[in-house]
Structure 1
Amino acid sequence: MDAALLRELVAARAEKRPTVLATRLTDGVQKLVYPSDKSQDSWLIKAVSEVLAGDKGAVIAAPDGAEWFLNPFNPPLRLILVGAVHIAQPLAAIASLAGYDVTVVDPRTSFASSERFPGMTLVTDWPDEAMAALAPDARTAIVTLTHDPKLDDPALKAALASPAFYIGALGSKKTHAARVARLSEAGFTESGIARIHGPVGLAIGAKSPAEIAISIMAEITETLRT
Structure 2
Amino acid sequence: MKLASLRALNVERAARRAALLVTDLDDGSQRVVRETEIPGDPLADILSRHLASGRSGLVEADGRQFFLTVQAPTVRLVIIGAVHISQALCPMAAALDLSVSVIDPRTAFATPERFPEVPLVPLWPDEALAGPLPPLDRYCAVAALTHDPKIDDPALLAALKAGCFYVGALGSRKTHAARQERLLQAGLSPEQIALIAAPIGLNIGAVSPAEIAVSILAQIVSTLRAAHLRVAKTGAPA
SS in structure 2 opposite 1:22?
strand
Q: 8 Å contact 1:105–1:130 — kept in the other structure? A: yes
Q: 8 Å contact 1:144–1:155 — kept in the other structure? A: yes
For residues 68-116 of structure 1, give each alpha carbon's deviation from its aligned partner in whole angstroms, at most 9, with x where no partner exists: 4322110111110011111110011111112111010111222111111
Distance 1:139 1:23 in 2: 26
SS in structure 2 opposite 1:141?
strand
The structure with higher relative contact order (CA 8 Å, sep 6+) is: 2
Q: Percent identity?
A: 49
Distance 2:43 2:144 in 1: 35
Tell me the residue number matched to 1:88.
86
Distance 1:147 1:138 in 2: 24
Distance 1:41 1:220 in 2: 24
Distance 2:24 2:70 in 1: 15
Pair 14,75 (structure 1): closer, same or farther in 2 beyond 3 Å: same
Q: Tell me how far 1:124 sits from its aligned partner.
A: 1.8
Tell me the residue number matched to 1:204.
204
Code of the residue aligned with 1:101 in structure 2: it is S
Q: CA RMSD in A?
A: 2.5
Q: 8 Å contact 1:79–1:140 — kept in the other structure? A: yes
Structure 2 residue 125 is matched with structure 1 residue 127: yes
Provide structure 1 residue ranges, at least 5 long, that are not aligned to the other structure. Answer: none
Code of the residue aligned with 2:86 in structure 1: it is A
Distance 1:5 1:46 in 2: 19
Provide structure 2 residue ranges, at least 5 long, that are not aligned to the other structure. Answer: 227-238
Q: 8 Å contact 1:20–1:32 — kept in the other structure? A: yes
Distance 2:12 2:4 in 1: 12
Pair 14,118 (structure 1): closer, same or farther in 2 beyond 3 Å: farther
Structure 2 residue 54 is matched with structure 1 residue 55: yes
Which range moves more in the overlay, 7-16 or 171-180?
A: 7-16
Distance 1:181 1:170 in 2: 16
Which range moves more in the overlay, 108-117 or 166-175?
A: 108-117
Pair 66,42 (structure 1): closer, same or farther in 2 beyond 3 Å: farther
Structure 2 residue 175 is matched with structure 1 residue 175: yes
Tell me the residue number matched to 2:108.
110
Query: TM-score w.r.t. structure 2 length?
Result: 0.82
Number of residue pairs matched? 222
Query: TM-score w.r.t. structure 1 length?
Result: 0.86
Q: Tell me how far 1:220 sits from its aligned partner.
A: 1.3
Code of the residue aligned with 1:176 in structure 2: it is H
Distance 2:86 2:42 in 1: 41
Distance 1:119 1:12 in 2: 29
Q: 8 Å contact 2:5–2:21 — kept in the other structure? A: no
For residues 44-87 of structure 1, give each alpha carbon's deviation from its aligned partner in whole angstroms, at most 9, with x where no partner exists: 5945555323323363647xx75543221101111100111111
